[in-house]
A and B are shown apart, each in its own frame.
Chain A
Amino acid sequence: MFLLLLLTLCYTGCRGRCKTINPFVYQLENISKSYAGKQVLSIDKLVIERGKIYGIIGPSGAGKSTLLRLLNLLEPPSSGNLLFNGVPVTNKSGKQVLELRRKMTMVFQRPVLFDTSVYNNVKYGLKARGYARKDITELVHKALDEVGLTEFVDRNARSLSGGEAQRIALARAMVLKPEVILLDEPTSNLDPANVAMIEKITGGLHKKQGTTVIMVTHNIFQAQRMSEEILLFFKGKLIERGTADQIFNHPRDERTDAFIKGVMIY
C-alpha cells in the first residue's frame, strides 16, 4: 500500500516537472509539407534540443522558411507528427494551439511593425497574454533598453530605419520571454553594425534566458559564428547536421562541402 502511494506521488510529481525538463523542444517525425501538390519539405526525423542555438542554412527553395512556419504553428504539416515539448500539435483545437504558440515567437526577414507607436508595438504580445498595465510598462521599457532604443518609445514605428525596425521587432519578441525564438533571415537586409547588434542581442537572450534560438540565414558565416548546431537543408530535405566545426571543416556530404565553398548546388 505504501509502495503504491509512493509510486503515485512520484508519477504525479513527475508529470508536472517532466514537461519542463523535456530535453527536446521540437520532435519531428515523417513530416512533409506540400503546396498545391508540390512537396517543399520532407523530414524523416529531427529533434531540436532545448536551450541551443541552431543555424539553418541551405540554398533558396530548400524549405527553410517553410520549416520555421511549421515550427511556429503558422501552418500545419501535410503529414507526419510534430511535437512541441513532447506534446503533439496536430489535431489540436484553436485554443490549444494558441496556448502552445504563446511559448514561442518569430521574427521575420522584413520586420512588420504595426502603424502605431513603438511602445504599442512592443506591448502587443503582452497585451494578448493579458498582462497588467503596470507590468507592461516596465517590461516594454526594459526590452527597449536591451535593444538600445529607449528614446524611440513614443515614435511611430513606421518612421524607423530598417535596422531600428528589426531591433524593435526583436524587442517585441523578446519581451514575451519565449521558450523558443524563430528567426527567419533576420539580418539579410541590414548594415553590418545592425547585424552585429542583432547577433549580440540574440546571443544575450539565449545566454540570459536560456531561450532556444532557431535561425534561418543565408549568411553561412553568421551561422558559423552563432550556432551551436547547424542544419543544412537541400531541396526540402535535411542533408547534414553538426557543429560549425563539423560542417565547415569535416563535411560528410559532398553537397555540404560544395555549399559552404560557395558552389551552386542543384
Chain B
Amino acid sequence: MADIGTGLLQAFKLIISLDRDLLAIVFLSLRVSGIAVATAALIGIPLGAFLGMRPSVSVRWLEKLINTLMGLPPVVAGLVIYLLLSNKGPIGQMQLLFTPMAMIIAQTVLATPIITGLSLVAVRDKHKEIRDTAVTLGASQQMIIWTVIREAKRAIMAAVVAGFGRVVAEVGAVMMVGGNIQGSTRVMTTAIVLETRKGNFELALGLGIILLVLAFIINSLLYRVQGEV
C-alpha cells in the first residue's frame, strides 16, 4: 500500500513540475488519437448517416458487420495493420511500421466502426419524423439530409467522444504497430505498461491520472457543447 501512496505523491509532483518526458508522451497520445478520431469521424459520420437514412432491412447485414467491428479487439486490429505495414506486407515499402502514422491508422480502424455504428443509430432515430416534417415544408433532398444530421448532432457528437475514449485508452494496437519507442511512438497507455513493468509506479500512476483527467475534461466539454447547441 505504501507503494501506491508514495507513487501517487510522486505522480502529482511529476505532473506539477511539467516533466518534459511526460508532456511529450501526453502530446503524442493526443495527437495520434486526435488525428485518428478526426479521420474516423470524416468516414464514420457520413457513412453512418447514409446507412441510418436507408430502410433498416436493406442495411441489416452491413449493420451487423459494423456492430461486430465495434467490439474489434485492439490486438486483432494491431495484428492486421502490422501484417499490412510490415516489410513483406502489401504496403510495406511505405516504411510506416513503428511510426506514429502506423498508430494513427490502427486507431482509425478501431474508431471508425464505433463512430459509424453510433451515428447510424442516432440518425435512424431522428430520420422518420424529421424527414416527414422537412418534406412537408418543401425541403429539397439535400436540405432534408442536412436537417436530419443536424437534428442528430448531439448523439453524433457523443459517438465521436466514445470513439476518442476507446482509442486514447487502448494499448494493444499502438503497442504492436508503434513499438513503444521512446521519444517516437511512446504514448500514455504503452508508457503505463512499460513503467509498471519496470517498477516506476510514480510515472505510470501519473500517466494514469492524466488519462483520467483528460477523459473528464473531454466529457465536460461535450456536456457543455450539448447544452449550448
Contacts and interface: CB of A to CB of B under 8 A. Distances in A.
Does chain A bind chain B? Answer: yes
Interface string A70-98: 00101000000000000000000010001
The range of chain B's interface size is: 10 to 19
Contact of B133 (A98, A112, A176, A182): A112
A101 interface: yes
B136 A105 contact: yes
Contacts, number: 52
A108 B133 contact: yes
A115 B137 contact: no
Nearest to B147: A114
Interface string A144-176: 000000000000000000000000000011001
B47 interface: no
A96 to B, nearest CB: 13
Given A112-B129, A112-B130, A114-B151, A125 B137 contact: yes
Given A112-B129, A114-B147, A114-B151, A74 B140 contact: no
What is the interface of chain B mostly: helix, strand, loop, or mixed? helix
B133 A74 contact: no
Contacts of B91: none
Nearest to A110: B129
B151 A125 contact: no
Interface of B: 129-130, 132-141, 143, 147, 150-151, 153, 229
Contacts of B136: 72, 74, 101, 105-106, 108, 173, 182
Contacts of A72: 135-136
Nearest to B133: A112
A128 interface: yes
A248 interface: no
12 contacts: A72-B135, A74-B132, A101-B138, A105-B138, A106-B136, A108-B129, A108-B136, A115-B153, A124-B134, A124-B137, A125-B138, A128-B140
A250 interface: no
